[in-house]
Amino acid sequence: MTTVQLHTDITSLEQQAQQYFIKGNYSQAASYYEQAIETEPEVKTHYWKLGLMLLLQGEETEAQMTWLLGMGEGEAQQAEEWTSELIQVLQTEAERRERLTDYKVAWAIRQHMREINPTDVNNLLYLIELAIKLERLIDDELTSLRVIELIHSEPIVDIQLLLQVLKSILNYAPLHPAVPAFAEACLAHVHDSQSFINVLLPATVQIAHSMRQPKLAALLLELCLRLEPENLAILRHLAAFYFKANDYSKGIEVAKSCYSLSNKLIDKIFAIHLLHRGLMDSPACWEEACEVFQQQQSLMMSLLEEKPINLRSDQALYLFNSNYFAPYLQDNLKENRYLQNQIASLCQLNVENYASKEVQRYKKRTSKRRNSKLKIGYLSHCLSRHSVGWLARWLIQHHNREQFDIYGYFINYKQINEPLQEWYIQQFTQAYKGGIYSDDIAEKIYQDEIDILIDLDSITLDVTCEIMALKPAPVQITWLGWDASGIPAVDYFIADPYVLPESAQEYYTEKIWRLPETYIAVDGFDVGVPTLRRDSLDIPNDAVIYLSAQRGFKRHPDTARLQMKIIKEVPNSYFLIKGLADVEAVQKFFMQLAEEEGVECDRLRFLPQDPAEAVHRANLGIADVVLDTFPYNGATTTLETLWMGIPLVTRVGQQFAARNSYTMMMNVGVTEGIAWTDEEYIEWGVRLGKDEALRQQVALKLKASRQTAPLWNGKQFTCEMEKAYEEMWQRYIEGK
């Protein structure tokens, strides 16, 4: 046979093998490669491809033997070259399979590549990516394959692949214990810091909030800070993560650094708001918090004078809740509402500017003619283990499904085992498990043709504010989660006869819709088994126990001082203090106040957080009297106190936050403990402490109220809310 004929025959064999291979007939393709080997035994490519055909038929042992046969007795240099050729053949097929989304085969091929060259770090990265796409456990890929060690020691050819794998890991298994080490290993190969930050920053937000792992989020974000130590966005998020993880000293330090690095007015406002947040949760820093608050107010007034309408979406988002802490510091309805309304109006203008197409499209909706059921949408990030989640469930449970379709829009849906969240999912006609992007959620609300949208968050969440500002529903309401947001796109704010004074409307941009009795009602609370005992706290059985269970934000020094005066006036009394805050700072704060007021510090007890809400409620029963906070009252804590039949002393003010406990007490028919001045607050506290008969009388009233009071009638409350919805919709139809 001539050389030309031999070449022609080999070419024909290869072409036929390739044709059968493409068709998936690996057995027939293998037979042609076997013929090619018989004809040209010295051509190694035939062995590599024959082995591949055998591998694709599941004959792994035969494939490996074929490749070993091809290696023959070659010298070291030849063996290295042949190995490189074999890997190239396998890689080409693996890449083809990946393009065809045949990930299982691609993964199997790359596993053999790993056996041939276990230190090929790029192949290991592809294996991780494929394992994730196949939804396999990635423990081996991240640990036993030494990939993290190899990333540290080997040059990375494909940096884009490395970042893509990091992103995939963060999406698939962000809580895997090897994630921090993997992310840190990437740092040495990152030349464009922004590309790394773009992968890590959104993931840390999800980890901190959706997965409630702020410590891990902070640990990961600290890696970004190594690349850009003066990046304001990183510093802002990092401070927030520290606060969420209760590491207030670190959070305050980072917030101060963020403020010092801020040059633009808008950045200064964001930074000082963060700093103020940290100081507010550290009662020992209250004086500094007040000073920072004044600076913040001044900066915001300067911004309102400038009235910029070219803010980016992220800037408007931060600005929405920049006045969040004002009600915690002062009961000034006029001033607080004015500033909040102005800020919300400025944010609304900016939303309408950068999202003008969406806003205009939503305005053109035509849904006034409706003969079917009203579509009611509930929007919140709190429909889970949260005060809003506990309180809103009775309204959702009692809704009349024959008259209303109930939709739920979950912002930052919790990607953890969350029974209450799953309960809500089951209650809604439709539930949208949203992320953190306002435009996606707003568009979904619009496409669902929601008639009335109820915002449960107000300015506690910036994403909610932006969605409301886009106005995806024709009628929009704020209820429950906070005071009104002041956003012009919100039509109504739900109140009752007590929670706002009669003159309040002049300070609100929203129409105040007063329900006839109460703006909130629950059928009750789940109560667990108590874990607190007097003897374990070293408190005598005949002592009077006062309790305050509020987070650090609410511990205004003036009110705390009034509480100390009460303790001083009541012999054999003790004060239990509990709530989310900087524990060390809270203790220092109250110890100092006690000394100043002449109260022995051994009459104070500082309690840790309870493991579950039901246990917390059971433990409230140890108290004889609960002392409320002011100017920001308790809300859920007040409801729980009244449900447990414990007398409460509250100070009533003018703003919504200063009248929560007042409306709840009025709606259970108890006026004992309602104070309109500081002096009355002390008087009621002392009187209830000294008069056991009065305490018992109040407790009996509270117990009896469970059967009759509006506060404990979720079904009747739901009827009143539904009447309000129908009337609001009628007004919309009539153009009022």
Asked whether the predicted pLDDT for residue 487 surpasses 80, the reply is yes
Percentages of the chain per state (helix, strand, coil), in multiples of 5: 60, 10, 30
**Is residue 51 located within the same domain as residue 128?**
yes
**Is residue 293 located within the same domain as residue 207?**
no
Confidence of residue 584 (pLDDT cuts 50, 70, 90): confident
Which pTM was predicted?
Answer: 0.84
**Is residue 431 located within the same domain as residue 485?**
yes
Residue 488, token pair as written in the block: 């012009």
Cα separation, 455 vs 320, in Å, equals 14
The whole-number pLDDT of residue 615 equals 94
Whether residue 719 lies inside any domain: the answer is no
The CA-based dihedral angle spanning residues 661, 410, 280, 676, taken in that order and rounded to the nearest 10 degrees: -10
**Is residue 347 located within the same domain as residue 484?**
no
State percent of the chain over pLDDT 70. Answer: 97
**Is residue 479 located within the same domain as residue 552?**
no
Quote the mean pLDDT of the chain: 91
Give the C-alpha distances (Å, rounded to integers) separating 87 from 103, 140, 270, 485.
18, 22, 53, 62
**Is residue 159 located within the same domain as residue 205?**
yes
Whether residue 520 lies inside any domain: the answer is no
Whether residue 229 lies inside any domain: the answer is no
CB 409 within 8 A of CB 377: yes
Whether residue 612 lies inside any domain: the answer is yes
Considering only residues 507 and 148, tell me which one the structure prediction assigns the higher pLDDT.
507
Confidence of residue 1 (pLDDT cuts 50, 70, 90): very low
Q: Which residues contact 88 (CB under 8 A, 6 or more apart)?
A: none
Of 354, 369, 394, the position where a domain reaches its end is: 354
Asked whether the predicted pLDDT for residue 408 surpasses 90, the reply is yes
Which of 574-583, 585-594, 700-709: highest mean pLDDT? Answer: 700-709
**Is residue 342 located within the same domain as residue 372?**
no
The whole-number pLDDT of residue 2 equals 46
CATH code assigned at 541: 3.40.50.2000
Phi-psi region of 335 (alpha: psi -120 to 50; beta: other; left: phi over 0): alpha
Confidence of residue 576 (pLDDT cuts 50, 70, 90): very high
The whole-number pLDDT of residue 437 equals 85
Domain that holds residue 331: 262-354
The whole-number pLDDT of residue 6 equals 43
CATH code assigned at 381: 3.40.50.11380
Whether residue 101 lies inside any domain: the answer is yes
Asked whether the predicted pLDDT for residue 661 surpasses 50, the reply is yes
DSSP letter string, 432-471: EE--S-HHHHHHHHHHTT-SEEEES-GGG-HHHHHHHHH-
The region of weakest confidence among 7-11, 275-279, 630-634 is 7-11
**Is residue 488 located within the same domain as residue 571?**
no
- Once rounded to an integer, what is the mean pLDDT over residues 621-633? 97
Helices 159-172, 193-205: inter-axial angle, 10-degree rounding: 0
Considering only residues 579 and 167, tell me which one the structure prediction assigns the higher pLDDT.
167
The whole-number pLDDT of residue 21 equals 74
Whether residue 735 lies inside any domain: the answer is no
As to burial, measured by CB atoms within 10 angstroms (0-12 exposed, 13-18 middle, 19+ buried), residue 611 is exposed
H or E element at residue 29: helix 26-39
Of 354, 380, 405, the position where a domain reaches its end is: 354
CB 631 within 8 A of CB 553: no
Whether residue 252 lies inside any domain: the answer is no
CATH code assigned at 102: 1.25.40
Q: Which residues contact 266 (CB under 8 A, 6 or more apart)?
A: 303, 308, 311, 315, 318, 319
- Once rounded to an integer, what is the mean pLDDT over residues 633-644? 96
- Once rounded to an integer, what is the mean pLDDT over residues 442-464? 95
Asked whether the predicted pLDDT for residue 367 surpasses 70, the reply is no
Confidence of residue 3 (pLDDT cuts 50, 70, 90): very low
Phi-psi region of 365 (alpha: psi -120 to 50; beta: other; left: phi over 0): beta
Confidence of residue 185 (pLDDT cuts 50, 70, 90): very high
H or E element at residue 514: strand 511-514
Bridge-based pairing of strands 374-380 and 452-455 is parallel
Instruction: Using alpha carbons, select from 520, 492, 581, 546 the residue that is nearest to residue 681.
Output: 546
Confidence of residue 698 (pLDDT cuts 50, 70, 90): very high
**Is residue 146 located within the same domain as residue 295?**
no
Q: What's the pLDDT tens digit per position in 76-131?
A: 677 788 888 888 988 888 898 899 999 998 988 898 888 888 888 899 999 999 98
Confidence of residue 371 (pLDDT cuts 50, 70, 90): low
**Is residue 348 located within the same domain as residue 362?**
no
Considering only residues 78 and 458, tell me which one the structure prediction assigns the higher pLDDT.
458
**Is residue 283 located within the same domain as residue 324?**
yes
Confidence of residue 250 (pLDDT cuts 50, 70, 90): very high
The region of weakest confidence among 68-82, 121-135, 324-338 is 68-82
Give the C-alpha distances (Å, rounded to integers) separating 375 from 262, 370, 454, 723.
45, 10, 11, 14
Q: What's the pLDDT tens digit per position in 207-233?
A: 998 888 999 999 999 999 999 999 999
Q: What's the pLDDT tens digit per position in 418-432?
A: 888 999 999 999 999
Q: What's the pLDDT tens digit per position in 22-64?
A: 777 878 877 877 787 788 887 778 777 787 788 888 888 887 8
- Once rounded to an integer, what is the mean pLDDT over residues 544-571? 94
- Total of domains in the chain: 4
The whole-number pLDDT of residue 281 equals 83
**Is residue 365 located within the same domain as residue 472?**
yes
The answer to whether the Cα torsion of 589, 592, 593, 594 is positive or negative is: positive
Instruction: Using alpha carbons, select from 336, 281, 338 the residue that is nearest to residue 580.
Output: 281
Whether residue 234 lies inside any domain: the answer is no
Considering only residues 33 and 175, tell me which one the structure prediction assigns the higher pLDDT.
175
